[in-house]
A and B are shown apart, each in its own frame.
Chain A
Amino acid sequence: MLPVKVLIADTVHPNDPGRIVEADLMAAGATAIVRLGAGELLADAVLREAPDLVIVDMARPDRDGLEDIRAISRHDPRPIVMFVDQDDPAFMEAAIEAGVSSYNVVGASLPVLKPVVQAAVAMFRRYRQVETSLHKAETSLREREVVDQAKALLMRQRGMAEPDAYRWLRRQAMEQSRKLAAVAADIVAAAEQKKGGGS
């Protein structure tokens, strides 16, 4: 089961105890919960905590800070934003119908809260799985490329045959307890440095 870290930003006023009950979220599938500190800006907390799910009260004016979170940092937490608002049950329905990654949870009423959080968590999991396999595919493609480059360099510079170049890389990797691709990347980087320094 993938971990789902939830950031709750449901209090607008310092004396407001908040409406979301942490136990409800854990029951709904969250594995870690962080609450926004008093006086802390939502965007700062999102960047620091990199949560998988953000539950935010619509009444918070700093919600605007989430709109551009990707632009203000290279870090990309991909939060799913949920809105909490006691006054606006219609908002949640409309948001869910619109099929966007934004929902409105009304109050702390568990029957409403639970399925919405579950839906968000399930959606997040699907998203994360697709993203993880995509990332893996991209990484293995990049790794193969760099290993091929390093082999070509070894063949050219040391006159090795291709199987020997590969075996040499593998031995280096085993001796240094590192990944084959990391050793290959070092060789490619060193060759590029030499080329850059000589010109």
Chain B
Amino acid sequence: MTVSRPVRMGLLRLTDSAPVIHAQTAGLFAAEGLDVTLSVEPSWANLADKLSYGLLDAAVMLPPLVLAMALGLRPAAARLIIPMSLSQHGDAVTLSNELAEPILAGGRPDDAEAGRRLATLLRARAQANGPRVTLAVVHAWSTHALLFKRWLHAAGIDPQADVDWAIVPPADSVAAIESGRIDGFCAGAPWGAVAAAAGVGRTVALSSDIMPGHPEKCLAVREAWAEEQPEALQGLLRALLRSAKDCADPANTPAIAATLAQPTFLNLPPDIIAASLPGGAREGVGQDTDVCRFAIPEATRPTLAQARWLLDQMARWRDLPVSAAEADTLATRIYRPDLYEAAQAVSISPY
């Protein structure tokens, strides 16, 4: 198979970029005859813009952001498809030491109890006319925002009325907590562990506890590119399926962590990254990070159920400019399990 020009893929400095980074460094894309160039971007906005303007063909994306782009909820609307999910879990709720210490006293409680303890702290603050709490997420249309709000709501905290919100990139969260500008954040691995290692906060809840099996990152592809290059897309999916299988195997964690740690990718200590890869234990540095899941097919198959859940959660906290029926039509257009299944069917090994 020959492909005329390189496939341009974008990603951010996160553990769950592993399937794409490993596929590149282990030569899995090359084995499919694909010439792939990876671009490590500084923000979700960059990934979204570059997909919109056709400067990237595919990217590791937040599925709510892909849906928001299709709904025209950010300036550059775009037609994207999701032919594969990439991961589950991996997000952590990290609070300032002041808030986290009373919650973690006597060891970390389960996520529901942690939420109740936070609610008690917030009520005490409000009664004492103390300062309001500001919480941060990495993007307005992120799985983090949906899961954080779900956890707060379950604990009896009104995410709209009881707290203030900020958008802060994970790498800036450490400085933002330290300066007191924010009191907590929810970000993808390994940034909770990075904040804890810097001594500015502790993780009180993990997204795998808040909603076991929740969808996290997805592969977003420009619809026009997918239509022009159907064979390249199938090769991409086959390579990513092989890569996901490698990433899901705890035996590969040390090697994959070492790759991700490189300056051109995450540029972070390998032990912090390893704690958020399969097999990572919830002790030491692992206490402050969730473990990403790349299992096949649960974490990789893009299902309509995922799309419906995401749209439902988005509509719960924000106004969506579409009816339930329109949302369903949109979900069917964007989520493409048919393309995933075609790639899985011809993959060389049974997954």
Instruction: Name A residues whose Cβ lies closer than 8 Å to a Cβ of B.
Output: 39, 41, 43, 58-68, 71-72, 81, 83, 88, 90-91, 94-95, 98, 100-102
Contacts and interface: CB of A to CB of B under 8 A. Distances in A.
Contact of B45 (A64, A98, A100, A101): A64
Given A41-B172, A102-B49, A63 B43 contact: yes
Interface stretch (B23-31, B52-60, B199-207, B272-280): B52-60
B165 A72 contact: yes
Interface of B: 42-46, 49-50, 52-55, 74-76, 138-141, 165-169, 171-172, 175-176, 179, 181, 318
Contacts of B46: 58, 63
Nearest to A71: B140
Identify the interface centre among B43, B169, B176, B179: most chain A CB within 10 Å of its CB: B43
A102 B76 CA distance: 8
B76 A71 contact: no
Contact of B175 (A39, A63, A64): A39
Given A58-B46, A64-B139, 9 more contacts: A41-B181, A66-B45, A68-B140, A72-B166, A72-B167, A88-B55, A91-B55, A95-B49, A98-B52
A90 B169 contact: no
B166 A65 contact: yes
B167 A68 contact: yes
Contacts of A61: 42-43, 169, 171-172
Contact of B44 (A64, A88, A90): A64
B76 A100 contact: yes
Contacts of A72: 165-167
Nearest to B167: A65
Contacts of A88: 55
A100 B52 CA distance: 11
A62 B75 contact: no
Contact of B168 (A59, A62, A71, A98): A62
B123 to A, nearest CB: 24
19 contacts: A41-B166, A41-B172, A43-B166, A43-B167, A58-B42, A58-B46, A61-B42, A62-B43, A62-B172, A64-B45, A64-B167, A66-B45, A67-B140, A67-B167, A68-B139, A71-B140, A91-B53, A100-B75, A102-B49
Contact of B50 (A43, A67, A91): A91
A94 B167 contact: no
Most buried by B among A39, A68, A101: A68
Nearest to B182: A41
A94 B140 contact: no
A27 B54 CA distance: 32
B42 A98 contact: no
Contact of B55 (A41, A59, A62, A94): A94
Given A71-B140, A71-B318, A91-B50, A64 B55 contact: no
Contacts of B168: 41, 62, 65
Nearest to B78: A98
A31 to B, nearest CB: 24
Contacts of B172: 41, 61-62
Contacts of A64: 43-45, 138-139, 167, 169
Given A67-B139, A94-B55, A60 B43 contact: yes
Contacts of B55: 88, 90-91, 94
Nearest to A42: B167
A102 B50 CA distance: 12
A37 B73 CA distance: 29
